[in-house]
Each structure stands twice: as C-alpha cells, then as structure tokens.
C-alpha cells in the first residue's frame, strides 16, 4: 500500500485540507486548522520525503518518526498540525483498506455515539470585525440562520429553549470575550462587564432550569485574578465546566485556579503534546481533559491522551469549532473509548458549512452524535475542493 501522492489545499476558512493517494487507488483524507500555508510547507517540504513510496498502513512508525524528528527541534504548532492531517489521512486509508470505520480499528464500540453540547461558533459571511480573524476571537456577526454566537448573547432564553427542543443537553458560550478584547482586558474586568457577561448565563439557566448544562469558554484570555473573579460570578449558574478562562500556559497556575475557584475545569484544547496533558493530569489541574484531535497529532495522539486521562479516571471533551474531519476524528476516538463524555459541535457548521466540504456527516439524535458507519473516517473531501485552486500543493513520486 505505497503512498504515491500527497495533496494539500489551504482553504480560506483557515483549514488545511489534505489527501494521501496510494498506488492501489485508495485516497485518505485529513485536516487541520490554523496557519494552513505554514502547515502545507511542513508537509510538502519536510514530511513528504519520508512518506512518498512508503507503506501507508505503517501509521505508528510514521507517527513516531515524524514526531521525534520534529520534537527534537521543539515541535509544537505547525509540525503537530501537519502530523495531525497526515495521521487522519493514514487512518482513513487503513479503514478503507480494511472496510471498517476507524473506531472499529481503535478497539471497537465502547459507547453508542457521544453526547454533544452546542458551541456558539461564529457569524458567517458578514463584514469582518476588527481583529475578528485572530484565532480564538471569533466573529459575532449579524442575525442569520444558526448564528448561535448572536443568539446566545441577544436571545439567550429562546436559544436555550431551542436547544432543549432539539434534545441538546449542553451549551458553551463566551460572553466575557468582549471584556478581554478591551485594552488590558486580561488584567481587569469591571463589575459592569462582569454583569454583562453573566446576563446570558442567567437567562439560559432561568429558561432551561437544570435541563441544560452550561459551559464558559474564556479562550485563554484572563490572568489569575480576573479568572477567579469570573469564576466567582459563574458559581451562581452552576456550570458544567469552565474552559480556558485562565491562559493554559502554566500548569501550576491552572491547578491553583482549580483549587481556589471550586468549579470543574476543562483543560485544554490549547495544549498540543502528550507531555502537556501528562503534566496537567499529574498536577491534578483538570476535571475534564479537552482535546482538539487535529492539533495534538491526529487520531493516534488523541487516543493516547484519552487513555492517559482514563488512567487518572478523568473524562474527556473533544473540541471542534473548525472542520468536519476534526469532528469525525473526535467521534471515532469518542465511540471507541468509554471516558469521552462530550463532543463539541456547532449547529451552523454541522448543518450549513460542513456539507459544503465533505461527502457525509454523522447524524445527531437525542443529543448524541452517532458513530460514523462508513469505512475509514466515513467521509471524504468533495473532489471539487482539490480542483482549480491556486492554493493546491502536490507532492508526487
Ligand atoms: Mg475553547
């Protein structure tokens, strides 16, 4: 099963789309998000010489080789994102070669689908806001179908009732981001801004009672004193978890925050290496481990981190606010592991954006997203995405 061709497309959404072809005609699809042009360079300039002509089924060997070569030079962002895209494509090929979905190859079904919470996502197709393109800043946008960023902040009670009516049991929002975006916002959140941020949470709790779980994402904006101030306010609405209210770049400070705030913490999609997660678990800094499958090194690394969390008896949340194969990768590991508690989904992405990108998407029923049944990842990039594009790069042998 020799690799003959690697293709990437730097998509305007910030996604890096990847396809790996084999001599037998199988095509595996992969993805990562953020700095796609830099990631494409890592793949074509640095990883392709290892992969072209090699066995597509030797996933672990390729993963270790590429990871270790990169890690010896401080691998973090672009390298692990590139490895993630490659890893997904190789698992996709292996699944297609075996005629089985990836979750079967990871050990088989440990749970029927994964419980979802709806994340507020972002506005689509409107005039960009200043700074709106920075990662983690999002765009409030304008009222438009399924713009749940807008809905959560402007019509929170109706939004909460709508999610419940759909059978969705959790919602994540980020109503303190506006305060962080003010000058020195990570250092000071005024009492008035605190009230503004709490308002949607209070309205959703009042509308939904205890039937809807609430999660706050702080996008890593705040330093310890303001993170504690926000957490103290959040106690009123009994959140399921606080995610990245404090910047996750110092494990000891996260642990300090966890001990002092007395609320469950999800830590953190902003981490990238298995070693990052080992430290978080060993220092007892997390109530949930949160993983982005295409930032940490793909399905291989996601399963490894999920198993590491299981050793500490800690549940996992899977991140997706970016792309369809990131979502699918999270579900494949989530179905094959009993400690994956929640899968993040975004209604707008799942219903309006992802169908423009991939051939299949898993169904959501009664608040759970189903295990993909097709071979491999269970979906492929639309072929048109790899045609007539000036951001297509190809390596062949
Ligand atoms: Mg987040």
How remote is the CA of residue 202 from the centroid of ligand 1, in Å? Answer: 21
How remote is the CA of residue 224 from the centroid of ligand 1, in Å? Answer: 18
Q: Which CATH class, in words, describes the domain spanning 3-100+380-396? A: alpha beta
What's the mean pLDDT in 46-63? 98
Q: Look over the chain and give the mean of its residue pLDDT values, rounded to a whole number.
A: 95
How remote is the CA of residue 220 from the centroid of ligand 1, in Å? Answer: 8
pLDDT at position 140 over 90: no
How remote is the CA of residue 240 from the centroid of ligand 1, in Å? Answer: 14
How remote is the CA of residue 219 from the centroid of ligand 1, in Å? Answer: 5
pLDDT tens digits, 274-322: 999 999 999 999 999 999 999 999 999 999 999 999 999 999 999 999 9
What's the mean pLDDT in 153-169? 98
How remote is the CA of residue 127 from the centroid of ligand 1, in Å? Answer: 23
What's the mean pLDDT in 63-76? 93
pLDDT tens digits, 203-246: 999 999 999 999 999 999 999 999 999 999 999 999 999 999 99
Q: Where are the domains of the chain?
A: 3-100+380-396, 104-369
| Least confident residue range of 75-89, 125-139, 238-252, 259-273 | 125-139
pLDDT at position 135 over 80: no
pLDDT at position 137 over 90: no
Q: Which fold has domain 104-369?
A: TIM Barrel (3.20.20)
How remote is the CA of residue 170 from the centroid of ligand 1, in Å? Answer: 14
How remote is the CA of residue 47 from the centroid of ligand 1, in Å? Answer: 29
For residue 132, what pLDDT is reported? 53
How remote is the CA of residue 166 from the centroid of ligand 1, in Å? Answer: 23
How remote is the CA of residue 106 from the centroid of ligand 1, in Å? Answer: 26
pLDDT band at residue 393, thresholds of 50, 70 and 90? very high
Nearest to 330 by CA among 349, 312, 311, 313: 349
For residue 123, what pLDDT is reported? 77
pLDDT tens digits, 41-54: 999 999 999 999 99
């Amino acid at each position: 099963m020799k690799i003959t061709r690697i293709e990437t497309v730097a998509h305007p959404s910030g996604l890096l789309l990847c396809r790996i072809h084999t001599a037998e005609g199988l095509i595996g699809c992969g993805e990562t998000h953020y700095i796609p042009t830099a990631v494409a360079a890592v793949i074509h300039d640095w990883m392709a010489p290892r992969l072209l002509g090699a066995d597509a089924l030797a996933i672990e060997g390729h993963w270790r080789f590429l990871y270790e070569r990169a890690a010896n030079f401080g691998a973090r962002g672009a390298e692990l994102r590139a490895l993630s895209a490659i890893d997904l494509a190789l698992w996709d090929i292996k699944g297609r070669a075996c005629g089985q979905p990836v979750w079967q190859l990871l050990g088989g079904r440990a749970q029927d689908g994964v419980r979802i919470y709806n994340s507020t996502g972002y506005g689509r197709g409107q005039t960009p806001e200043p700074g709106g393109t920075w990662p983690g800043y999002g765009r409030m946008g304008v009222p438009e179908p399924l713009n749940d960023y807008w809905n959560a902040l402007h019509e929170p009670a109706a939004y909460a009732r709508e999610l419940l009516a759909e059978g969705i049991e959790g919602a994540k929002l980020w109503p303190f981001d506006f305060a962080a975006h003010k000058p020195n916002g990570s250092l000071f959140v005024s009492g008035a801004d605190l009230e503004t941020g709490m308002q949607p949470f209070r309205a959703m709790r009042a509308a939904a009672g205890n039937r809807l779980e609430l999660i706050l994402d702080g996008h890593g904006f705040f330093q310890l004193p303001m993170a504690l101030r926000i957490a103290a306010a959040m106690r009123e609405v009994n959140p399921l978890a606080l995610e990245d209210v404090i910047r996750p770049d110092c494990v000891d400070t996260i642990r300090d925050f966890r001990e002092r705030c007395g609320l469950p913490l999800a830590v953190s999609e902003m981490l990238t290496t298995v070693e990052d997660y080992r430290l978080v678990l060993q220092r007892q800094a997390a109530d949930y481990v949160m993983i982005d499958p295409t930032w940490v090194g793909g399905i291989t690394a996601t399963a490894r981190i999920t198993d590491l969390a299981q050793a500490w008896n800690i549940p996992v949340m899977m991140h997706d606010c970016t792309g369809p194969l990131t979502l699918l990768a999270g579900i494949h590991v989530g179905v094959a592991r009993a400690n994956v508690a929640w899968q993040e989904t975004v209604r707008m992405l799942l219903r309006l954006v992802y169908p423009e990108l991939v051939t299949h998407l898993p169904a959501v029923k009664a608040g759970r997203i189903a295990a993909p049944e097709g071979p491999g990842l269970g979906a492929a990039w639309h072929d048109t995405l790899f045609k007539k594009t000036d951001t297509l790069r190809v390596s062949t042998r």
